[in-house]
Amino acid sequence: MTYNLKRAGFAQDGLPVDVDSEFDSPKTIDRIVQGLKAGGHTVYLVEATHDFPRWFLTHPVDMVFNIAEGIHGEHRESQVPAVLESLGVPFTGSNSVTLALALDKAKTKQILASEGIPTPAWQLFHSPTAALNPQLEFPLIVKPNREGSAKGIWRESVVGDEASLRCQIAHIYDRYQQEVLVEEFIQGLELTVGVLGDTALPVLEIDFSPCRASGEYFYSWRMKEFQGNAELALSPEFYCPARLDQKTAIRIQELTLRAHHALRCQDISRTDIRLRSDGIPFVLEVNPLPGLDPLDSNFPVMARAAGFSHERLIQRIVDLAICRFQKTRLQQSGCINPPVVQSTPFKVSANVCAEACCLPPAEASRVFPVSISRAPAYQQPVPGLFSRGASRDSTDRGEISAPNIRSIESAPLSIDVEVQRMSSVVRGDDRQRCIHMATPQLGVSTVSTDYPEAQTTSGVARREDIS
């Protein structure tokens, strides 16, 4: 596991109070390690300091659980993935390109805008004296372009006139020595949405109205840092799922998935959104390395609402990464077709087709455990069964259903599912087995997990028309 450790006492050393806000506490790291160990993994801790690459030169590992933010540089979050990519070591989460991009809020906004995803109108100041775009409407918010965890964001960051704007821009320049992002401040609901695999988790709403006495009214640094401190009146109310009608919630989840894919995030991300009072959701940023503290971070709250304990969440992230790396390996070896990720809810009303390849003859006709997730809201996968495997080079048909079916004979022909992954690639011993599932209507399939004998379970998506 690669990480950067939050050390108490930095502020006293004369460094800015928020200098290591993005880093993780020993408690967070400890809980992630517990989750990994409970998943049967042996864990080594590697702090992402300047000489961390040396460790990987002498220690071969199967997979890196990466939460490292990086210590310095414009693209610091991408440095651990870049080193691991160069060494060919698999790791969880997004690759170096995505991490570098997402750290740059303005670049992210350019990508979102080009994909038609609403994001607040903005201007990037490369110099504190640059002229203000007159089209921007006050109030504006002033933020460092390449920080996270609300670093450099205070209640004074929201400004109502040009004099205060100039003052804030100069302050950010001086303190963070980087470009300054100025955005229209969106009045409305604060929402954040996690993506796990290719599924949007239930929307989390953060209501700051109980914090009025503190003077804070959005996710400023003080609000994030002291969240939950009732004495400081910094206890926002959390609602997960958010208090939104179902249609709006789905719209927000879909928008989040688009933002996740626009940045090519992998395995996990969290998108921060402001829902304006006229119903338009504005994406503020995409976080491919969301906080994973079981108590203090928002991602685990959403995962919990979807039925994932913290332990299970950590293991799921590992499984997703294994899935990706196996899929890449299989694609490189020509075993499977390129995936099509499909996350639109749909109705399955016909047989599901399974094609099992590389399956030893003894395994060719058996019942496979599968999981189905019901649309539209994400729920825990429902166990089901898929029957009638096929031998290599042939295709066989069966039916899939949930919940509680005991055999293929009792399976109804129609089920509602939300597609998450389209097949399972299981590696046990030195055999490789693939199960692809698809429907005639959409050419998509279902989730397959928990293969009993498997050492690892993973999935790939595949579009397949059944004639």
Minimal CB distance residue for Mg ion: 272
Q: Is 141 in the site for ligand ADP (CB under 6 A)?
A: yes
Q: Is 183 in the site for ligand ADP (CB under 6 A)?
A: yes
Q: Is 120 in the site for ligand ADP (CB under 6 A)?
A: yes
Given 91, 125, 185, 299, the residue binding ligand ADP (CB under 6 A): 185
Q: Is 91 in the site for ligand ADP (CB under 6 A)?
A: no
Contacts (CB under 6 A) with ligand ADP, residues 198-227: 218-219
Backbone angles phi, psi at 200, to 5 degrees: -80, 130
Beta carbon nearer to Mg ion, 272 or 464: 272
Contact partner at residue 119 from ligand ADP, Mg ion, none, CB < 5 to 8 Å by partner kind? none
Q: How far apart are CA 423 and CA 272, in angstroms?
A: 30
Beta carbon nearer to ligand ADP, 183 or 418: 183
Q: Is 125 in the site for ligand ADP (CB under 6 A)?
A: no
**Residues 122 and 106 sit within 8 Å (Cβ to Cβ):** yes
Q: Is 281 in the site for ligand ADP (CB under 6 A)?
A: no
Beta carbon nearer to Mg ion, 297 or 458: 297
Q: Is 291 in the site for ligand ADP (CB under 6 A)?
A: no
**Residues 2 and 66 sit within 8 Å (Cβ to Cβ):** yes
Strands 368-372, 382-386: pairing is: antiparallel
Given 69, 77, 104, 272, the residue binding ligand ADP (CB under 6 A): 272
- Count CB-CB contacts under 10 A for residue 245: 8
Q: DSSP letter string over 246-275?
A: HHHHHHHHHHHHHHHHHTT--SEEEEEEEE
Instruction: Pick the piece of the chain touching ligand ADP (CB under 6 A) from 67-75, 180-188, 331-339, 444-452.
Output: 180-188
Six-digit token pair at 228?
């939950």
Beta carbon nearer to ligand ADP, 6 or 436: 6
Contact partner at residue 400 from ligand ADP, Mg ion, none, CB < 5 to 8 Å by partner kind? none
Strand partners, 112: none
Q: Which residue has the tokens 């070591």?
A: 89
Six-digit token pair at 170?
């100069």
**Residues 459 and 437 sit within 8 Å (Cβ to Cβ):** no
Q: Is 356 in the site for ligand ADP (CB under 6 A)?
A: no
Write out the residues near Mg ion by the rule CB under 5 A.
272
Q: Is 149 in the site for ligand ADP (CB under 6 A)?
A: yes
Least distance in Å: CB of 189 to ligand ADP?
A: 10
Contacts of 169 (CB under 8 A, 6+ apart): 125, 128, 142, 180, 182
CA 385 to centroid of chain Cα atoms = 28
For residue 221, CA distances in Å to 17, 102, 180 come to 10, 19, 16
Size of the site for ligand ADP (CB under 6 A): 19
Beta carbon nearer to ligand ADP, 224 or 316: 224
Least distance in Å: CB of 181 to ligand ADP?
A: 8
Beta carbon nearer to Mg ion, 89 or 284: 284
Six-digit token pair at 262?
């626009």
For residue 288, give the nearest of 63, 101, 441 by alpha carbon: 101
**Binding interface with ligand ADP (CB under 6 A):** 120, 141, 143, 147-151, 153, 183, 185-186, 190, 218-219, 272, 274, 284-285
